[in-house]
Amino acid sequence: MSRKVKHSLEFKLAIVNQVLKRDRSVVEISRENALERRMLSQWLQFYERFGEAGLKPQSTIYSLENKLEVIRYFMDNKVSLRAACLQFNIRATSVLSNWLRIYASDGAEGLSEERRGIKHLMKPKISKKAAEKDLTEHEQVLEENKRLRAEVAFLKKLRALIQREEAEKRKKH
């Protein structure tokens, strides 16, 4: 398993500028600097879209509204994870992938919770059965319906993405 290497802003700028000069290809520059070609391509995309700020380290806490906006954009426009992340300046596709997983299982409410750290661990756990006792039967049906609709929408999107990727692979071969 490889260790994640963090590169300085100066290094990223120098590499991006080498590519933009068009002296050599992305493949040559990535090999010469022991970089993943995909990572270098991502640096280029973020630099072209956001300038130098697109290469700076990012530690953003996203609001519920931001998360839902990105998820809606992803589902409505049928774009790839990478394209949606680029549109909203999210560096790692795993961030959006996690949001989609949480949204599919817990809905929008799951996205609003802080799911990491001590705060999450210190919350008193209320069993689902205890919480369901407080809801009327009608409310329970509505909640289940809402959850199932989110799951179906997610699975449809996932199926479409898989089919698109398979079609692209067939075109390449």
Tokens of 122: 């210190």
Q: What is the pTM of this model?
A: 0.51
**With b meaning 16 or more CB within 10 Å and e meaning fewer, what string describes 58-84?**
eeeeeeeeebbebbeebbeeeeebeeb
Tokens of 112: 């609003």
Alpha carbon distance 117, 48 (integer Å): 35
- pLDDT tens, residue order, the chain (173 aa): 455 667 888 888 888 888 888 777 888 888 888 888 888 888 888 888 888 887 877 777 888 888 999 999 999 998 998 889 888 888 788 889 999 998 888 888 888 766 555 555 555 666 666 565 667 888 888 888 999 999 999 989 888 988 888 888 888 77
Give the torsion through C-alpha atoms of 95, 89, 30, 21, to 10 deg.
Answer: 180
Q: Give residue limits of the domains in the chain.
A: 9-55, 64-172
